[in-house]
Structure 1
Amino acid sequence: MSRVLRGLGALVVLLALLVGVPALLLAVGARWPTTWSPQVLLRPDDGTVLLALVTSTAWVAWAVLALSVLAEVVTAATRARVRVRLPGLAGPQRAVAGLVLAVLALAAAPAVQLGPPPAVAEARTAPPPAPAAAEPTTTRARAPVPARPVDPSAVVHEVRTGDDLWTLAERYYGRGQDWRRIAAANPDRLTGGPDRLEVGWRLQVPGVVAVDDVPAGADSDPGTVVVRAGDSLSAIAERELGDDARWPELFEANRAVLDDPDVLEAGQQLEVPAGDAAGPAQPRAERVPERTDPPVRRSEPRSTRPAPPAGDGAVPGSAVPRAADGPARPSAPPPAEPSAAVEDRVAFAAVGGLLAAGLLTGLALRRRLQLAARPVGRRIVHPAPAVVPLEAALGRRQRPFTLRTLDRALRAVAVACRDQRLPLPALQLVLLAEDRVELRLSAPHATAPVGFAVEDGGRSWVLDQPGADHLTAVPADEPLRPWPTLVTLGRDDQDRLVLGDLEALRLLQLDGDPGAGRDVLTALAVELSFSPWADEMRLTLLGPDTRLPDALGAHAVEQSEDADALLDRLEDRAAEQRRHQPQPVLGQHRLDPDLAEPWTPEVVLVDGPLTREQTARFRALVDTEPHVTTAVVLVGDVGAPWRLTTAPAAAGPPTARLEPAGLDLRAQALTPDETAGVVALVAATGRTDTTTAPWWHVEVAEPEPPPDNVTYLGRRFGGWSAETTGEVDGVVAIRAAAALAADARVDHPTLLVLGPVELLGATGTAPPRAAKQCLEYCGWLLEHPGRTARDMASALAVAEGTRRSNMSRLRTWLGADAAGEAYLPDAYTGRIALHPAVSSDWQQVQILTAGGVNRAGDEALRAVLQLLRGAPLADAAPGQWHWAEELRTDLISCLRDVGVELTSRALDAGDLGLARWAAARALVAAPGDELLLAARIRTEHRAGNTAETERLTLQLAGQARRLGVDLDPATVTLLQEVVEGRVRARMA
């Protein structure tokens, strides 16, 4: 009845608009004069002209309305097989579409069955019938049967913004390729092809069941919910709390397990906050007849794909809902994923934030040294594509804030003890949280520095305000670090990082499961190698594995296979230290910088069997008093007082028990696959060889083949190939670069990466949240056109639900061009690609330098530097854009080469102003670069600016000392010429 009333109301409205309006205009509307003369315009105004204008405007509006109604009638009458889209009338067509459909519903059966027919309702307990045929049978409204057979295993989905058939099939069936099942089940809306969906459509999705009520026991515990594939916090909030806007409450209630509100892992168990919840939201799908087998959650796809395995982060026993009156059904073993990406297998699930932050910091420093030593026109060698995603996975684990907090707190203690002449406390363990630092001491120490609270009778110092003024006041270059052997052992039941001072523990045995013990030992080796205080200790790996020391090439990290020779050296050093009466707390020696070096600690990690005699010698080395600065960690039971007993877990990190501290931990560990990836990253950032840069022209092709992993953001434009761009494109690129530099109007979406990341020229609305992530997605799509959703989620290290949400935001933000073509089209083929008109400032650089930087014109090089707005990817947050590290180094390298080339040309031409501008501009992208600073020095020397020349000379020399590198011989010669007036004599 309600549908009939709606249809009659719509019919009345349409008749009033289409018939009543023109009748009214003909009756009372004014007409233009049939004859014109000057007297018509000169006589006093009586309102006739104004009324005629109003009448004309009304007729135009009526014509627009009539055309829109006619277009929608054609669309509805042909069941959307013929769609009339009139330019400029998209809004009016949407406005009248509902009225037209409501009127047509009076003469035809309902397009979508909103509920079960009486016959089905009476047979709820009967077994489900076979699925409905793909082709429906059309009947008239007065027929007692529905227009289309109702599939009892179907749900009715209401189309939302961003929906398409592929994503709906992925949601309900687990496979985007099954979208044709939905198309075939909705012939009244769809043609059977990859149609564009309209918001508000109700589509029947066969083969799934939706129920309104959540069965008891669906989640593992009351008040909790298990994350499923495709979930987001807003979706869970809508489902559990009745309002998707309450997602921040979910995030705050689960801060212990969630680091990013946009990143959820399938299988995570989340707490649902209690309070005045409105109750679970009603499902979008309409209620359909129940089945006799246990129901699933509302709108959840009844897919043949099993739940994710426990090893991928699932909570054991919680992946399958439990029926209200029956036991849980076990899930089948997961199928193999032959196309799984690297980080699907190597997720660093057992890696703590300090190891990840230290490793990423170390990799960045090593790349900086690579770039500093790179000749003009050359390109550093990047890691193989298979290990590039590992940096993104590490980025998700890092906690640089926690690392800085710990370092600042420890240096504050050291400064206070030095300045107040207090004895240094005997530190054993550190329990580190985001907002709390707890130092556990081996002996009571009642006097603590300002800001620390004394607890447990002086055995614990607690800092509850890591950002307090007395900590931030400690100089960043303060050298006092009395506990350089602190290393992460794992996380406790409160999710705090537990660090042990190996020097204080002296001998730590990793017993229990040998495999888990070796994984823990490997993690200790990597973190000690890249900790902020790694330069203040020595690390010796006793065993056959030489990969990490070889890749590091660091003097402080060594490998040995001769246990006896190593013991001889350590015993000689221990005897020398004991002769000098070591302090009870060995770190006390390091409070005096003049005495710190002889008391540098050495940690020995033993990965291999030892004889009984060798074990006894290690025990005597560390147990004999007075104690010395040597610590030993080994796998196996040697009767050591400190023991970390490990056991492999069914899912996630191995479990461990630290005695005698009595702490249950999730141990930090690196699996063999993860270790191989880390070693590959470290080795790649330590290489000194280079390849020919694609932005530089060489007259004779070099014999070396290009690396297989070379990819470029603008490869759709042919990279730097002069044959594919040409002079016309170069002129266009110069104009486009000038428009971007002047912040002028941009015709199509353009991503700016040469500085803070921005998006210009988008025609849609910017998202209210996750905008930075959308920009990262846009950059990845420009770099990797035609890749799949699985590739994208894997490379960006995000859950599929988060990826879809951000892709929907990006699609809305980018909008469409003047012809209505979306700048981010729906990927019905499974391959995602942006509209060809979407570009970036980096692609402008590629066109401007086509054929080589050294062959490009001065105007082109100036245009390149005008595009520069800051360091490339300047505002990328930690944990983001790690997939683009190769891109970032290429941006820096190309811009530096442009600056060097243009500066050199300007100096040759005597244009000191251009030379100064070009070098200074390029230094924004490559701060501290030796060749650019040398160009600045040469420029200021020619200009006669003695003070600036000396300042830049001291800056360059000081920077080389800080990095621990030698200046290029040509730079040394230049500095001698400008400072001393001549080159120092050299013997032949």
Structure 2
Amino acid sequence: MSRVLRGLGALLVLLLLLVGVPAMLLAVGARWPTTWSRQVLLRPDDGTVLLALVTAAAWLAWAVLALSVLAELVTAATRARIRVRLPGLAGPQRAVAGLVLAVLALGAAPAVHLGLPPAVAEARASPPPAPPAAERTAVPSAARAPTRPVDPSAVVHEVQAGDDLWTLAERYYGRGPDWRRIAAANPDRLTGGPDRLEVGWRLQVPGIRPSTSADGAAERVPADAATVTVRPGDSLSTIAERQLGDDARWPELFDANRAVLDDPDVLETGQRLHLPAEAVPRPERAGAEPAPDQAGAPDRAVEPGSTRPAPPAGDGAWSGRTAPPAPDRTAPERAAPPTSAPVPVEPSASAENVVALAAVGGLLAAGLLAGLAVRRRLQLAARPVGRRIVHPGPATIPLETALGRRQRPLTLRTLDRALRAVAVSCRDQRLPLPALQLVLLAEDRVELRLAVPHEVAPVGFVVEEGGLCWVLDQSGADHLTALPADEPLRPWPTLVTLGRDAQERLVLADLEALRLLQLGGEPQVGRSLLAALAVELSFSPWADEMRLTLLGHDTRLPDALGVHAVAQTDDADALLDRLEGRAAEQRRHQPHPVLGQHRLDPDLAEPWTPEVVLVEHPLTPLQRARLRALVEEAPYVTTAVVVLGDVDAPWRLTARAADDGTPATRLEPAGLDLTAQTLTPAETAGVLELVAATGRTDTTTAPWWHVEVAEPEPPPDNVSYLGRRFGGWSAERTGEVDEVVAIRAAVALAADARVDHPTLLVLGPVELLGAAGTPPPRAAKQCLEYCGWLLEHPRRTARDMASALAVAEGTRRSNMSRLRTWLGADAAGEAYLPDAYTGRIALHPAVSSDWQQVQILTAGGVNRAGDEALRAVLQLLRGAPLADVAPGQWHWAEELRTDLISCLRDVGVELAGRALAAGDLALARWAAARALVAAPGDELLLAARIRTEHRAGNTAETERLTLQLAAQARRLGVDLDPATVTLLQEVVEGRVRARLA
């Protein structure tokens, strides 16, 4: 009743202020003089001017009030997605925010009348029970406010600028009217009323426990919630049918996951959703056929409602740290098994890859993708004109897409800079390097766990637990910007991910500090863990500063990498002989207690390069004894060994398969329960195929280049259909393409002229021109990606599309609907994206792209196209291909992107060469410079620029380009082409150096 009275009172006040005040001013306010003249200002004051000024001030105050109310209404209507902050009006906005909240609260009904789960309704009706006195701890306050006991089951939210109780309730409970739960849990904080929050306050959010989403992002979820993983083809309704027994209950799923779902139609494959608190496991119908949108589900039947029980908390004895009280993660009781076994759903291989990659950490994915990008860049740099680099098979596309979704490049970069900052600080201040053992890595926090206390930390780090723990949070990370980007110091190159803990933090171990790590438990999980260790160590940012030896593994990884630092052997005795000899040499030179100290001096770093040995080979008792003596006898050496099997090691990682199939491990003596990072054999094979393809030096004939004698190899799949459809590269060389018409169309498109039909631009920032509909208010970038995929993969199925893009079926359908509306229909009423009644999705034949324009212009081959056609191709270029694509998007298009770069580079080289032969230096300069936008630093294009500037007599530019080319070759670690070396000798020294025949 009091809520209703307060709401009605607030509504009355707002009506009086917004309606009554202007009505009063119109009725009794002074009227402005019709004209302003000298007589009006100098005549005796009768109060008219003063009353007019007072009236104007009143109108101004009313306008400020009205704007403040409007801003708060926008904030409430958009659920705080749009926050309007008017300069200088923070005070009025705070004043009216309480009135607006009170009015909006009139529409809030009790939870039981909204069909909410009984458990939630009960929680909202009564405050949470107080914890026992022994479990209560004081919450540190950032502001001057009294402290109160903290409910260990509650999230503690630190107030940020712009926060209010309504938006906090929207974020945590999904409903703004539930702000009273937060207010009731913090009575001693909100002494100034529910509308006054101070930045830095720490507020309890009852009934919510901390958790983490599948991609590692922090979220808040109801306590004791079970989880389910989104599978290919899933939507909220299908999950509700499978887990809750009724597809009409999908709104409950959406309400329980508002922290991670903005749109009920947008799900990502592999994402973990939390079930409502009252969800009861329900046996699936025996013999039920899978729904069409579930065709890509995993082949192992998942028991509905099952959850992975949380591992027991660590003993807290490691490093003297007391483990915080763990949240209650007890899984609900499982329902009785069905009388008939559920029928497993047969998945495609790509769907299996996408789902299973949930065991891969963000650092491994980021390091692997960065390494693949470098290897592709080297392939493109060495590619001859008219040739095409070799790409991995189509089965790896979903795998690479899933890696792109899981990568955390910013987190990896922050960790790398943090470790280098520690090294630089110790070197500059001549301090001993801390004895790092483990790193606990969250999205916004880096925690370094040390073996012995170390009290002096670099700027930005906070020393905790008597020097056993260094913490770097987001505020401290700002100090890392002063670190030189090219600072090479990396004292812990054997740092690698073991898994993630119950708080979803990545747990990394310095293998050199652990010395000997034993992988026990289930051998299959151990082998998958070894595979993940091998891949991450090979592609980490510090991989060049260590050596990796695989004992007993197959040779596929070393062969695919083709680098000297990664090797494989089956001869354990020969390996031990070599390692013992190296260890004896290091011990004679009195190593530091912390071996990384040697690597702070660049002149001494190389002899102390660490070597990691991953042992899958069975060892004899004598070999195990030699191994322990090698790494465990003091003084310690720079050799670290990870062994699959029992070697009586001090550090042990015991593996097992959890009830839900996820790989669970326990790290002793740290007492940490982890979800292990693993690569299954199928995933490992896909990764190795990617690595091998990016290391190949052979090439194939490019479809955009004409050769007199065609090689017996088909054109790539991504252009064969386009050629037949658009008269492109695979068209017969019979003059089918009207070059004049194609040039005019390309010039018009490059000039941003009006196009008659939808045209996707990918030669620069991705845009869509000529669409008949309006752009969607959300997910427009995803719609552009879908359009690009459909152009490159016409007449494919919905399952093919969802698998390649690594999205759930519900997300795909929603975005396809948005794209269909955006594209619209042509003048005859035919949709540009017709419904796929045949099961095959295809765009209207009139929908095209600037890339297809390039194919039309070069249909006879780049080397046979006219100069105007090549010029038109380069005019279409607006930037680097796919210039504004964010990390994690368009990973399926890596082959397309490299083809774009390769073709445009060849066009630039060909046109610049023709222009130089004709003496047209301006055209040669323009062609090479334009193509360099697509292929920055390309050797052949830079050589064309050097040749052009040398002929023009531009000595300064010639010298600059020469130095740039030489420096780039050193940076990439490649040799210049002999023709380029000859050119540089000619332009720099005036002649070619003599050579004996």
Counterpart of 2:782 (choices 752, 766, 773) is 773
Is it true that 1:463 corresponds to 2:472 in the alignment? yes
2:267 alignment partner in structure 1: 263
Native 8 Å contact 1:384 1:709 kept in 2: no
Counterpart of 1:354 (choices 363, 381, 394) is 363
Native 8 Å contact 2:299 2:344 kept in 1: no
Which letter does structure 1 place at the counterpart of 2:540?
S
Cα distance change, pair 506–311 in 1 and its aligned pair in 2 (3 A): farther
Native 8 Å contact 2:915 2:921 kept in 1: yes
Cα distance change, pair 867–534 in 1 and its aligned pair in 2 (3 A): same
Is it true that 1:731 corresponds to 2:731 in the alignment? no
Is it true that 1:317 corresponds to 2:306 in the alignment? yes
Is it true that 1:845 corresponds to 2:847 in the alignment? no
Please say which of residues 729-738 and 350-359 is displaced more in the overlay. 729-738
Structure 2 Cα separation of the partners of residues 881 and 913 of structure 1 = 36
1:521 alignment partner in structure 2: 530
2:808 alignment partner in structure 1: 799
2:876 alignment partner in structure 1: 867
SS at match of 1:386: helix
- 1:569-628 deviations in whole A, cap 9, x for unaligned? 111111111111111111111111111111100001111101111111110010111101
**When the two structures are aligned, how many residues end up with a matched partner?**
743
Q: How much does 1:684 deviate?
A: 0.7
Native 8 Å contact 1:509 1:634 kept in 2: yes
Which letter does structure 2 place at the counterpart of 1:512?
G
Q: How much does 1:273 deviate?
A: 11
SS at match of 1:430: strand
Which letter does structure 2 place at the counterpart of 1:905?
R
Counterpart of 2:594 (choices 567, 575, 585) is 585
Cα distance change, pair 473–243 in 1 and its aligned pair in 2 (3 A): farther
Is it true that 1:790 corresponds to 2:794 in the alignment? no
SS at match of 1:489: strand
Structure 1 Cα separation of the partners of residues 483 and 304 of structure 2 = 43
Q: How does 1:569-580 map to 2 (within 5 A)?
A: 569-580=578-589
Which letter does structure 2 place at the counterpart of 1:428?
Q
Native 8 Å contact 1:796 1:883 kept in 2: yes
Counterpart of 1:662 (choices 658, 667, 671) is 671
Structure 2 Cα separation of the partners of residues 465 and 249 of structure 1 = 30
Is it true that 1:835 corresponds to 2:835 in the alignment? no
Q: How much does 1:301 deviate?
A: 11
Structure 1 Cα separation of the partners of residues 799 and 564 of structure 2 = 42
Structure 2 Cα separation of the partners of residues 442 and 337 of structure 1 = 48
Cα distance change, pair 241–701 in 1 and its aligned pair in 2 (3 A): closer
Native 8 Å contact 2:460 2:476 kept in 1: no
Structure 1 Cα separation of the partners of residues 273 and 253 of structure 2 = 15
Structure 1 Cα separation of the partners of residues 652 and 283 of structure 2 = 48
Structure 2 Cα separation of the partners of residues 858 and 339 of structure 1 = 47
Which letter does structure 2 place at the counterpart of 1:594?
D
Which letter does structure 1 place at the counterpart of 2:805?
L
Name stretches of at least 5 consecutive residues in structure 2 with no aligned partner. 1-220, 309-334
Q: How much does 1:465 deviate?
A: 1.5
SS at match of 1:348: helix
1:199 alignment partner in structure 2: none
Structure 2 Cα separation of the partners of residues 652 and 561 of structure 1 = 32
User: Which structure has the larger Rg over C-alpha atoms?
Assistant: 1
Structure 2 Cα separation of the partners of residues 747 and 593 of structure 1 = 62
Structure 2 Cα separation of the partners of residues 813 and 314 of structure 1 = 40
Counterpart of 1:449 (choices 445, 458, 479) is 458
SS at match of 1:541: strand
1:600 alignment partner in structure 2: 609
Structure 2 Cα separation of the partners of residues 900 and 408 of structure 1 = 39
Structure 1 Cα separation of the partners of residues 336 and 352 of structure 2 = 35
Q: How much does 1:328 deviate?
A: 8.5
Native 8 Å contact 2:737 2:856 kept in 1: no
Structure 1 Cα separation of the partners of residues 803 and 227 of structure 2 = 25
Native 8 Å contact 1:343 1:389 kept in 2: no
Please say which of residues 223-232 and 500-509 is displaced more in the overlay. 223-232
Cα distance change, pair 761–236 in 1 and its aligned pair in 2 (3 A): farther
1:161 alignment partner in structure 2: none
2:762 alignment partner in structure 1: 753
Q: How much does 1:730 deviate?
A: 2.4
Please say which of residues 521-530 and 418-427 is displaced more in the overlay. 418-427
Structure 2 Cα separation of the partners of residues 631 and 616 of structure 1 = 15
Cα distance change, pair 756–305 in 1 and its aligned pair in 2 (3 A): closer
Q: How does 1:160-309 map to 2 (within 5 A)?
A: 253-254=259-260, 262-265=266-269, 268-270=272-274, 308=297
Structure 2 Cα separation of the partners of residues 247 and 759 of structure 1 = 35
Structure 1 Cα separation of the partners of residues 284 and 659 of structure 2 = 28
Which letter does structure 1 place at the counterpart of 2:551?
L
1:498 alignment partner in structure 2: 507
Which letter does structure 2 place at the counterpart of 1:841?
D
Counterpart of 2:574 (choices 553, 565, 571) is 565
1:86 alignment partner in structure 2: none
Please say which of residues 385-394 and 955-964 is displaced more in the overlay. 385-394
- Paired-residue identity, %: 78
SS at match of 2:655: strand
Structure 2 Cα separation of the partners of residues 972 and 246 of structure 1 = 68
Native 8 Å contact 1:232 1:264 kept in 2: no
Q: How much does 1:959 deviate?
A: 0.4
- 1:808-850 deviations in whole A, cap 9, x for unaligned? 1111111111111111100111110000010000000000001
Counterpart of 2:374 (choices 365, 369, 380) is 365
Native 8 Å contact 2:517 2:643 kept in 1: yes
- 1:763-793 deviations in whole A, cap 9, x for unaligned? 1121111111111111110011100000000
2:934 alignment partner in structure 1: 925
- 1:184-210 deviations in whole A, cap 9, x for unaligned? xxxxxxxxxxxxxxxxxxxxxxxxxxx
- 1:88-118 deviations in whole A, cap 9, x for unaligned? xxxxxxxxxxxxxxxxxxxxxxxxxxxxxxx
**RMSD over equivalenced CA pairs, Å:** 3.5
2:551 alignment partner in structure 1: 542
Which letter does structure 1 place at the counterpart of 2:838?
T
Which letter does structure 1 place at the counterpart of 2:596?
G
Native 8 Å contact 1:653 1:668 kept in 2: no
1:197 alignment partner in structure 2: none
Is it true that 1:705 corresponds to 2:687 in the alignment? no
1:290 alignment partner in structure 2: none
Which letter does structure 2 place at the counterpart of 1:475?
P
Structure 2 Cα separation of the partners of residues 362 and 448 of structure 1 = 31
SS at match of 2:357: coil
Q: How does 1:321-470 map to 2 (within 5 A)?
A: 332-337=341-346, 339=348, 341=350, 343-344=352-353, 347-465=356-474, 468-470=477-479
SS at match of 1:387: helix
Structure 2 Cα separation of the partners of residues 267 and 892 of structure 1 = 34
Q: How much does 1:705 deviate?
A: 2.1
1:616 alignment partner in structure 2: 625
SS at match of 2:631: helix
Q: How much does 1:562 deviate?
A: 1.1
Cα distance change, pair 770–273 in 1 and its aligned pair in 2 (3 A): farther
Q: How much does 1:264 deviate?
A: 3.4
Cα distance change, pair 650–785 in 1 and its aligned pair in 2 (3 A): farther
What's the TM-score, normalizing by structure 2?
0.70
- 1:135-162 deviations in whole A, cap 9, x for unaligned? xxxxxxxxxxxxxxxxxxxxxxxxxxxx
SS at match of 2:928: helix
Q: How much does 1:735 deviate?
A: 1.4
SS at match of 1:349: helix
Structure 2 Cα separation of the partners of residues 952 and 912 of structure 1 = 16
Structure 2 Cα separation of the partners of residues 365 and 304 of structure 1 = 37
2:165 alignment partner in structure 1: none
Q: How much does 1:745 deviate?
A: 0.4
SS at match of 2:962: helix
Native 8 Å contact 1:487 1:528 kept in 2: yes
Structure 2 Cα separation of the partners of residues 550 and 228 of structure 1 = 36
Q: How much does 1:568 deviate?
A: 1.1
1:686 alignment partner in structure 2: 695
SS at match of 1:609: coil
SS at match of 2:379: helix
Please say which of residues 730-739 and 609-618 is displaced more in the overlay. 730-739
Structure 2 Cα separation of the partners of residues 924 and 312 of structure 1 = 50
Is it true that 1:672 corresponds to 2:645 in the alignment? no
Name stretches of at least 5 consecutive residues in structure 1 with no aligned partner. 1-218, 275-279, 281-292, 320-325
Counterpart of 1:625 (choices 619, 634, 652) is 634
